[in-house]
Amino acid sequence: MTIVLPILLPMGMGALSLLLWKRPLAQRVLAVVSCAALVGVNAWLLMDVQQVGVRVVQIGNWLAPFGISLVVDVLSALLLLTVAVIALVVTLYGQVGIDEGRVRSGYYPLLHFLLMGVNGALSTGDLFNLYVWFEVLLMASFVLIALGGGRENIEGAVKYVVLNLLASTLFLSGVGLLYNLAGTLNMADLARQLPTLQALNQVTLVAILFLIAFGIKAAAFPLFFWLPASYHTPPVTVTALFSGLLTKVGVYALLRTFTLLFVQDVAFTHTVLLVMAGATMVSGVLGAAAQTDFRRLLSFHIISQIGYPLMGLGLFTQASLAAAIYFLVHVMLAKTALFLVAGMVERLQGTFDLKKLGGLYTRRLDVAVLFLLPALSLAGLPPLSGFFAKLGLVKAGLAQGQGVLVFVSLAVSLMTLYSMTKVWNEAFWKESPAQLMPTRSLSPWLWLPTAALVLLSLWIGLLPGPLFALANQAAELLLHPELYVRAVLGGVP
């Protein structure tokens, strides 16, 4: 039962928010309570799964592979918890960060349905069901971008939805081909059947379709351009939520399918992944170098950071997968925190333009520190969380003899540091331009959740042991798909 709760809780709360449509305050309170409860449920789930390994529920008591299975292993549970924490922080921040107009046009029901989609995608064990959850989160996020109705919002939303619908179509085609080949879409059953099929080429074709589809969703090279085109249009609260959740679900789908299903031709598929990883890192960071808008710059860094977990997946060893999972959690926390800080800076000085910002270091030391910690963590400086994540990836890469990719990833880290230094110099360090608006005050609703998130990010860096142990356990499960298969199919021969 517990593993259905991460889906049911947001669904019920979304329905309740619809009933409370005309009472914004009640919706706000409900959202905070619901996200806090979600953190509790998912933390409990993680502790449970840590003991058992894999938890399964056969929905409607229809046995696998005929019904839909929900499967939560350590990887899913870890990401579920991270998602819930980010949702809670962003909802608290949104008490001030989301204006009354957006709440009145349905921000909170959409937020709940978005969470339902993300949680569903993270915990399903069926490929078609995964497609459905992707659609749920796509629709919810599409409306969240478009909400507010400005020309810019609609433009961003259309770019976002067109590319993502293309990805969904490709994914669905892949699902169709796979069903034609194996006659099942239950992931555990597929994992059992694919190695016995005499159709390696067709399976590889499906693998590439999935790679492109999830690659678009994860904003990996070469189809990442929808992200910087759309992420800077909604309020920063929404961007922060998206940066923490959406592309990461794409990465999760890649992690799941390319360890469970498509492992017949690793020499080919995972080499493609490695090339994609390198290209994603470089193109993201180069794109960021050209930006002078705080949010656009951070959006390009989302892309660049997606390359690192892909690198871990492509290397395909336990150490590299563990590092990739650790990295994923680290980047979800750090990236969301950076966007929230960007929102605070905008509140203080009324713009995202780095040229017009300035002087925040002398006036708001607290905000400067809140920016600096996740920024340096993103660049990978010790003793912050990004350092340990990248160290793990570099070690795994060298062990596999991928010297070039390791060099690329280190060079990109250096470029990230350059980029973060640029923001620091422009927004915080340099003298404030003369025509600057007077520094406004900052609500604790903005300050406290951001500080809590930065502290959490700091904590997993200073004490990386527990999280690394979890990531390692998750990676071990990923490399032993037979455990997953046995948990889902049980006694079925």
Partner 1 sequence: MNKPRRVLQRSMMLPVATRYLMPLLLLFSVFLLLRGHNEVGGGFIGGLVAASALMLYAIAESPAALRALLPVAPRPLVGAGLLLALLSGLVAVASGKPFMTGLWIKTPLPVLGKLGTPLLFDVGVYFLVIGIVLWILLTLAED
Q: Give, as ranges, the residues between 414 and 453 that touch partner 1 (CB under 8 A).
A: none
**Alpha carbon distance 313, 253 (integer Å):** 11
Tell me, by CB under 8 A, how many residues bind partner 1. Answer: 17
58 binds partner 1 (CB under 8 A): yes
Q: Give, as ranges, the residues between 184 and 213 that touch partner 1 (CB under 8 A).
A: none
Nearest-approach distance from CB 390 to partner 1, in angstroms: 40
Omega within 30 of 0 (cis) for the link into 65: yes
Using the minimum distance from each CB to partner 1, give the nearer residue, 129 or 457.
129
What are φ and ψ of residue 58, in 5° steps?
A: -95, 110
276 binds partner 1 (CB under 8 A): no
Using the minimum distance from each CB to partner 1, give the nearer residue, 19 or 469.
19
What are φ and ψ of residue 399, in 5° steps?
A: -65, -30
60 binds partner 1 (CB under 8 A): yes
Nearest Cα to Cα of residue 32 among 460, 467, 448, 338: 448
59 binds partner 1 (CB under 8 A): yes
Burial of 128 (0-12, 13-18, 19+ CB in 10 A): middle
Angle, CA of 129, 49 and 389, to the nearest 5°: 90
Nearest-approach distance from CB 57 to partner 1, in angstroms: 5
Q: Which stretch binds partner 1 (CB under 8 A): 56-64, 380-388, 427-435, 472-480?
A: 56-64
Using the minimum distance from each CB to partner 1, give the nearer residue, 1 or 267.
1
**Alpha carbon distance 464, 379 (integer Å):** 17
Nearest-approach distance from CB 68 to partner 1, in angstroms: 9
Measured between alpha carbons, how far is residue 121 from residues 18, 85, 463 in Å? 23, 17, 29
C-alpha Rg value of the chain to the nearest Å:
22
8 binds partner 1 (CB under 8 A): yes
Q: Which stretch binds partner 1 (CB under 8 A): 12-20, 45-53, 205-213, 276-284?
A: 12-20
290 binds partner 1 (CB under 8 A): no
12 binds partner 1 (CB under 8 A): yes
Nearest-approach distance from CB 140 to partner 1, in angstroms: 14
Nearest Cα to Cα of residue 65 among 74, 56, 73: 56
Q: Which stretch binds partner 1 (CB under 8 A): 53-61, 87-95, 187-195, 253-261?
A: 53-61
78: phi > 0 → left, psi -120 to 50 → alpha, else beta; which?
Answer: alpha
Using the minimum distance from each CB to partner 1, give the nearer residue, 132 or 479.
132
Query: Mind giving me the DSSP string for 63-103?
Result: PTTTSPEEEEEHHHHHHHHHHHHHHHHHHHHHHHHS-HHHH
Q: Which stretch binds partner 1 (CB under 8 A): 23-31, 57-65, 92-100, 177-185?
A: 57-65
Q: Which two tokens stand for residue 334?
A: 């750090």
Measured between alpha carbons, how far is residue 381 from residues 7, 58, 358, 387, 414 in Å? 37, 44, 24, 5, 10
Nearest Cα to Cα of residue 450 among 281, 321, 337: 337
Q: Give, as ranges, the residues between 15 and 34 that touch partner 1 (CB under 8 A).
A: 15-19, 21
Angle, CA of 471, 476 and 477, to the nearest 5°: 100
Nearest-approach distance from CB 173 to partner 1, in angstroms: 25
> Which one of 26, 32, 43, 57 is in contact with partner 1 (CB under 8 A)?
57
Nearest-approach distance from CB 149 to partner 1, in angstroms: 13
Q: Which stretch binds partner 1 (CB under 8 A): 8-16, 198-206, 329-337, 408-416?
A: 8-16
Nearest-approach distance from CB 11 to partner 1, in angstroms: 6
52 binds partner 1 (CB under 8 A): no
> Which one of 61, 196, 201, 435 is in contact with partner 1 (CB under 8 A)?
61
Could you list the residues that contact partner 1 (CB under 8 A)?
1, 4, 8, 11-12, 14-19, 21, 57-61
